[in-house]
Chains A and B, each alone.
Chain A
Amino acid sequence: MNCLINLKINGESYQLNVKPNLLLLDLLRYDIGLTGTKRGCDTGECGVCTVLLEGRPINSCLMLAVEANEKNILTIEGMAKDGQLHPLQEAFIEKGAVQCGFCTPGMLLSAKALLDANSNPKEEEIKKAIAGNLCRCTGYTKIIKAIISAAEKIKRREQC
C-alpha cells in the first residue's frame, strides 16, 4: 500500500504517493529527477548520497522517503540561489577541490551544514564534518582549503 507524503525539496513543495519501502535517495533521483544526489554504497558508508534534512546532513540511502514526510530537504541542485553560486561552490571551483565530481555534491552539503552552524571552523572541525564523505581522488587537501576559503568569503560578504 502506498503512502501519501508532503515534503519540501529545495524550497518547492511536493505531494507524493510513494511505496513504503522507497528510499529517499530513489525518490530524489527517480521520482523527482534530481540526479545530483549520487549512489555509492547503499549502506551509509561513502556519503555521496548526502542531502540536508532540516539543515542536517543525512545519508539519503539510509532513509525511507516516508520518513521525510513534512520535512525540508536541500539537495545540491538547490544550493545555488537565484543563479548565484553558494560561496562553497565558488571556492570548490577556485581551489581545485573537484576532480571526478562524484563525491562533490555530498561533500558540499556536509560543508554547508558545518558552515551554517559554525562560521569559523578549525581545520579539525572541518575534517570531522566531512569524515562521512569519502573521496578517492583529491586527498581532501584542496577540499579543506576550499571550505576555509568559503568561510572567509561568507564572513567578508556579511561584513559588507
Chain B
Amino acid sequence: MLNYFVVGKPIPRVDAIEKVTGKAIYIDDLIFPNLLYGKVLRSKFAHAKILHLDTSKAEKFPGVKAVVTGKEFATNFDNPLVGSPLADQPFLAVEKVRYIGEPIAVVAAINQEIAEDALDLIRVEYEQLPAVLNVEDALKNDRPLVHESFNNFRYSPGFKPVENSNICYYIEITNGNIEQGFREADFIFEDIFTTPSTQHVPMECHVAIAQFNPDDSITIWAPDQSPYGGQNLIAAALKIPESRVRIITPPYIGGGFGGKLNLSGLMPIVAIAWKTNYRPVKIVLTREEEFVSTTIRHSSIIKLKSGVKKDGTIISRYAKIMFDTGAYADIGPIVLGKAATGSLGPYKIPHIKVEGYCVYTNKAIAGAYRGFGIPQVCWAYESQMDIIANKLGINPIDIRLKNIVEEGYITPTEKQEAHAVGLGECLIKVKENMSQKGEGKIIENRKRGKGVACGYKTAKTPSGANAFVKLNSDAGADIFVSSVEMGQGVNTIFAQIVAEELSIPFNNIRVLPADTDITPFFPASNASRVTFYLGNAVKKAAQDIKEQLFKIAQDILQVDKEDLALEQGSFFVKKEPERKVKITEIMKKTYPGGISILGRGTYYQYKLGSFPSHVKVEIPTTEVWMYASQGVEVEVDTETGRVKIIKVAAVHDVGKAINPITCEGQIEGGVLMALSNAMFEELLFNEKGKILNSSLLDYKIPSALDMPEINAILVEEAHREGPYGAKGLGEMVAVPTAPAIANAIYDAVGIRIKDLPITPDKLLRALKNKC
C-alpha cells in the first residue's frame, strides 16, 4: 500500500468555511449594473397550435424593456434548435406548444414584479390538439404525433428518430442466442416493473444571467454542470463559433443531480438577452417553474424475462425498456442507451437481448437524473433477482455472488473487459452489516424484514479532460478546470491531488470556477466521471510542474534526477538528506523577478474502433465501472401500510477514496435521495398533462425526521487507470436502494411491489388482497 500524505485522508472540505459563514457566492447573489429581470410566459396546454400571440400591451407596460417571442427569435436565427445528440427543441415555442410549461415568450423589466405583471398582458390564442400522455399510447398506430417530422432536426449519426412515430430513439443489443437461452433454462421468469417521473429538487432553483455583447457574442453566468455543453449547444443552434458563447459558472452551485446540465430549462434567457440592447438580464425560476419546466427523471416501463437454471445460474435475459422522454429529446437518447447497456445487471449472462424505446409524449422533458437510467433498470433486475431467489430457495446474497461478473469477464452488453470488480466484497460486507432477522422489539402488526440489492454503472466513455495548474511564487497553486463544485467535493479532492503530487500545503491550493474563456475543456460534471477523468488530468498537470521543478532542483543541488526526492515541500539528495532546497526557495532564487510555473494535463481514455460488431447502434462504451451493494432493514405496519426504514448498509467500491469523508457524505445523501425516490416521490400528471404536485408542499422530499440509520462503507478495488486507483461514486449511491427496500418489504410481509413509489396505500391494498 502506497503511503500518501494527503490523498486518502478525511480532510475537511476547502469550501466549508465560506459556506458556514454565508460568504459562498451563488449566481442569484450576483447583481450587475443595469440588470433587468426576465419572466417566462409558458404554455397552458400539453399540445396546441399557437394561432396568435399579441405582446403589444406588455411591451408598452411601464418598466418593461424588452419582450421576445419564439417566432421573432426563430426568424432572426434561421430556426435555431437546441439539443445533442438530437437538436429538436426551440429556444421558445414557435408554431406549436408540446407540453404544459413550455416557454413561449419572455419579458424583461426593471424588476421582477413588473416582468411578472407584464406576462398577464400577453394574449395567446391556441388551437388545442389531441395530446399523447403516456408511453404505451404514444407507441400505438393511431396516436397523435408530438413532432410531425424529423427532417429539420440536426442529429449525431445513429440518432435520427423513427419517422412518422413518437419513437425518439430505439436501441437493440444482442449477444448469444436468446431463444436457445430460454430453451435451455429450467425456469422462466417474466415481470413488468415501472418507475415514475421525479424531480431533482436541488435547493437552489435554476437561475442565469445573460448578456449579449456588441460583437454579437453572448456571456451567460449560470450554475451549470456542463459549461462546455451549454456553449456547444447554443453555438450550434445559433450557427456561431463556440468562442462567441462564453459560459461562466459561479464558485458554488446549490445542488445539481443532473438537473443543471447543458443549461436545460434556461435557454429562453438567450432569446431575451438578444432583445435587451446589451443590458444583462437575470432569470430565476420559481420553485413551481422548477417542477414544470426543468428536466425530470424518465418514467419507465421495463419488461424483464429471464431464463434460469435450477442452481440459480442466469443463462438468458431479455429486457424491453420504455422511457418517457417528454416533448423534446434533451439527453434522453443517451440516458436510454446507458439504461439499455446496464439493464441486465452486473451478471454473467451468455444469451441476451435488449430493446430500448425512448418515447416522445406531450409532457415535461426528461433528462439526466442521478444514475442516468440505471436506477430504473436496477429496480427491475434486482427486484426480479429476489423473485428468482425466492422461487429457487437460494439465499439472495448467494444467488448474486454466483452470477456476478468477475475480473476479466467480457460484459455482454458493452463487450468490454470488466476490471477492478469489488462487487463480491460489497455483497459480503452488506451481509456482515445486516442484523440477524428478528432482531429488535417485535410488535404485533409490525413485521420486520431485510433485503439486499446490488448494481453497477459505468462512467461515461469517451470523456476528454484537460487541466492547467499554476504554481505561484509562494508555492501555492491554482487549478484551472471546467468541473463545478455543486456539493460533491471536487474542489477538495483536486486540491488534495495537487498537494500530494507537489508536496505543498493543501490549504494554499484553490480551484477556479469554470469559465469557457479561461478554464480548459471538460464535458460535464456528471456521469460520475470527474474524479476519474479530470482527476487524472489534474494529476498529470501537477506532475508536469513537478518535472520542471525537478530539473531546476537538479541544477541547484548538482545531482542526477534519480538521486533526488521530493518530500514536505523540499527537494533533497537521497543519500545526503541535509542537502536540500525548498520549492519556495526555487521559486524565489531561480526567478527573483517573479514567475509562475505552468503545468498541463490531458487525459483521454478510449479505444478507437472498440465498438463490437453485434451492437447495432454505435454507443459509447466504458472503461470504468462502479459497483455497489446496499442492504436495507424495514418494519412494515400491516394496519397502515407504512414502511419504516430502520437501517441502510451502503457498501460502495470507489477504487480509492481520495477523501473518505466526502465519499461517506455522498453515500449518505444519495441513499436518502434514492429512499425518497422509492418511497415518496412521483410527479403526478392529470389527464390534460398538467403536473399536479408542483410545490414542496405537495411533492415531498425527506426531512431529517425521515432519515434512517445509514452506514456508509467503502470498498477500494483500485482501478489500474484511476488517479491513485479511484473510480467514481456520485450516481451509484442512488442505484440499488429502491430494490433493496422492496426486497426487504417482501421479506417482511410477502408482498412484491413492482411499481414505484412504494406508498402506504399501494402496500395496504396489496396486503388486503393477500388476505
Contact = CB atoms under 8 A, between A and B. Distances in A.
Interface in A12-37: 29-30, 34-37
Interface string A129-156: 0111111111111111000000000000
Contact of B20 (A85, A100, A139): A85
Contacts of A130: 703-704
A38 B254 contact: yes
A62 to B, nearest CB: 13
A89 B20 CA distance: 6
A101 B15 contact: yes
Interface string A96-108: 1011111111001
Interface stretch (B136-144, B211-219, B694-702): B694-702
B672 A139 contact: yes
A160 to B, nearest CB: 23
B695 A48 contact: no
Contact of B203 (A35, A89, A135): A135
Contacts of B669: 99, 135-139
Contacts of A40: 203-205, 287
A62 B284 CA distance: 18
Contact of B701 (A43, A80, A128, A136): A136
B204 A100 contact: yes
Of the four ranges (under 10, 10 to 19, 20 to 34, 35 or more), the interface on chain A belongs to 35 or more
B670 interface: yes
B255 A137 contact: yes
A75 B22 contact: yes
B203 A100 contact: yes
Contacts of A36: 21-24
Given A40-B204, A93-B12, A98-B19, A134 B662 contact: no
B425 interface: no
Nearest to A89: B20
B554 to A, nearest CB: 40
Contacts of A132: 703
A81 to B, nearest CB: 12
A41 B287 contact: yes
A102 B695 contact: no
Contacts of B21: 36, 76-77, 79-80, 85, 89
Interface in B1-27: 10, 12-13, 15-26
B707 A34 contact: no
Interface string B168-211: 00000000000000000000000000000000111111000000
Interface string B648-690: 0000000000000110110011111100000000000000000
Contacts of B202: 100, 102, 136
A46 interface: yes
Contacts of A79: 20-22
B287 A96 contact: no
Contacts of A34: 22
A94 B488 CA distance: 16
A89 B22 CA distance: 11
Contacts of B110: none
Interface string B372-409: 00000000000000000000000000000000000000
B486 interface: yes
B202 to A, nearest CB: 6
B767 to A, nearest CB: 28
Contacts of A140: 668, 672, 703-704, 707
A27 B19 CA distance: 21
Contacts, number: 171
Nearest to A143: B704
B82 to A, nearest CB: 26
A56 interface: no
Contact of A41 (B17, B200, B695): B695
Interface in A43-62: 43, 45-46, 48
A42 B290 CA distance: 12
Nearest to B486: A100
Contacts of B704: 126-128, 130-131, 133, 140, 143-144
B696 A139 contact: no
B665 A96 contact: yes
B16 A93 contact: yes
Contacts of A89: 20-21
B707 A141 contact: yes
B29 interface: yes
Contacts of B18: 101
Contacts of B442: none
A80 B358 CA distance: 52
Contact of B705 (A41, A92, A127): A127
A137 B661 CA distance: 14
Interface string B621-635: 000000000000000
A101 B254 CA distance: 7
A123 B505 CA distance: 37
Nearest to B665: A96
Contacts of B673: 136, 139
Given A43-B696, A46-B203, A101 B487 contact: yes
Nearest to A99: B487
Interface string B19-40: 1111111101101000000000
A115 B488 CA distance: 28
A138 B287 CA distance: 21
Given A48-B203, A77-B21, A101 B701 contact: no
Contact of A96 (B12, B28, B672): B12
Nearest to A110: B704
A101 B24 contact: yes
A94 B697 CA distance: 33
Nearest to B672: A139
Contacts of B167: none
Nearest to B257: A136
B696 A134 contact: yes
B704 to A, nearest CB: 4
B255 A136 contact: yes
B568 to A, nearest CB: 24
B19 A136 contact: no
B737 to A, nearest CB: 11
Given A99-B669, A133-B703, 8 more contacts: A29-B29, A43-B696, A45-B287, A79-B22, A99-B665, A127-B707, A134-B703, A142-B668
27 contacts: A35-B29, A36-B22, A39-B284, A40-B287, A43-B287, A45-B287, A45-B696, A45-B697, A48-B203, A79-B22, A89-B20, A98-B15, A99-B489, A99-B669, A100-B255, A101-B16, A102-B202, A104-B20, A127-B703, A128-B705, A131-B705, A134-B703, A135-B669, A136-B201, A136-B673, A139-B671, A142-B664
Interface of B: 10, 12-13, 15-26, 28-29, 31, 200-205, 252-255, 257, 284, 286-287, 486-489, 661-662, 664-665, 668-673, 695-697, 701, 703-705, 707, 710, 712
**What are the 4 A-B residue pairs with the smallest beta carbon separation, nearest first?**
A36-B22, A100-B487, A102-B254, A101-B19
Interface of A: 29-30, 34-43, 45-46, 48, 75-77, 79-80, 85, 89, 92-94, 96, 98-105, 108, 126-128, 130-144
